[in-house]
Amino acid sequence: MSVSRFLPFLLVAVLAGGAFAQAPAPTPLPDKPEVAPPPTPEAPVPVGAKAWILMDHVSGQVLAGEKIDEPLNPASITKVMTSYVVAAEVAAGRASLDDMVKISENAWRQGGAGTDGSYSALEVNTEVKLDDVLHGLVIQSGNDAAIALAEHLAGTEAAFVDMMNAYASKLGMTGSNFENAHGLTAEGHLMTARDIATLSRALINHFPEHYALYKIKEFTYNGIQQYNRNGLLWKDDSVDGLKTGHTSAAGYCLAASAKRGDQRLVSVVLGIDTNSRNEGFRLREQGNLALLNWGFRHFETHSVYGAGDQVAEHPIWRGAADVVSLGVTEALLVTVPRGRYGDLKPSMDVPRQLTAPVAKGQAIGTLRLSLDGKVVAERPLVALAEVAEGGFFKRMSDDFWLWWESE
């Protein structure tokens, strides 16, 4: 019998309500339990490093580190400062990428092929386009390129070093001092891990087009092809800088930066001491990559307040207005362990009584954000608008109430 012949009987049975039993209603699933974020594991300590740091690029928060403020020999990581100065001078119009840079005998002798350091194959007494010399500095880590650029921008390397130290001071690099433009060992030539991370953030933020040089894997000049010494460029596509360094005094060093999605981190590993070149390369790369992976896995950055956003209102006495709006002058960003943003505790330190006049931008107090009792971000609270003195009767009235409250 065909299926079509059964249809009338099926319809009758269904309408009658007794031919077929209804399927039982499904049992509702229990609500998904809320699971608290697991504790953040300890950061992976780079093997053999004298100092190291992991910093969030956007917020500038230190996520982990050891001896981050100990001044150490930075070797060729120095060239990040050299390239920052060059980029700043080009941006200011005091130099051009099209400038022709004279390769002096000093640059050739002190930083060329006759030395033990890295070089860019620049021929003595020739003129080379500044952009090519800059490529040699960043990609090939050329000591000759560093000296040639210093002499071109400042006349002498010593004068350029003064510029390096001045720029470092403006960036808040309080633990660093430069004695040359290339990073070969010199007494008093020192940088801290924190300062290197701070400089790296500044370079990426201030001169992104210049920073793009740091991800180029190889550069050929004068018939000589040389490769970027940052091996992480080949091992992780999210890594796009920064700089390696090695001397017998400094050990093996590496500053690295990577971007995954909207998040960027900066890591620095300094002072790995080993007689094996291959082991030195391996340890500095493994140390940085482990830190970057740990940071991306366990931390997230949030924007809490934008520049000029109102954080609170504070009563004001003797003023044309009764309250003044308080806020932050710069965006407040905070980096916290993943899933812990809702656990942040805000607090404000403001005067109990505030009297007019108050100028726009005047510092009134301090805003703090804490997690588990530890302050993770702190910013000045400022007046977002001017509050002038009130009229005579307003001042008299407020003076009376201020007296009354003081009794």
The one-letter code for the residue type at 47 is V
Cβ of 115: how many Cβ atoms within 10 Å?
Answer: 15
| Residue 98 tokens, joined | 């099209």
83 a catalytic residue: no
Phi, psi of 208 (to 5 degrees): -60, -35
> Distance between CA atoms of 125 and 151, rounded to whole angstroms?
13
Instruction: Find the catalytic residue in 59, 83, 120, 141.
Output: 141
Say if residues 192 and 178 touch (Cβ distance below 8 Å).
no
Pairing of strands 323-327, 310-315: antiparallel
Nearest by Cα to 67 from 252, 196, 168: 196
Say if residues 34 and 181 touch (Cβ distance below 8 Å).
no
Mark 55-71 as b/e (b = at least 16 C-beta within 10 Å).
bbbbbebebbbebbeeb
Cis geometry, peptide bond prior to residue 357 (ω within 30 degrees of 0):
yes
Instruction: Find the catalytic residue in 59, 76, 200, 257.
Output: 76
Say if residues 368 and 375 touch (Cβ distance below 8 Å).
yes
Instruction: Find the catalytic residue in 79, 83, 104, 267.
Output: 79
Say if residues 225 and 137 touch (Cβ distance below 8 Å).
no
3 state SS of 220: strand
3 state SS of 282: helix
Q: Which helix (H) or strand (E) holds 225?
A: strand 224-227
118 a catalytic residue: no
> Distance between CA atoms of 87 and 93, rounded to whole angstroms?
10
141 a catalytic residue: yes
Max Cα-Cα span within the chain: 107
Which residues are marked as active site? Answer: 76, 79, 141
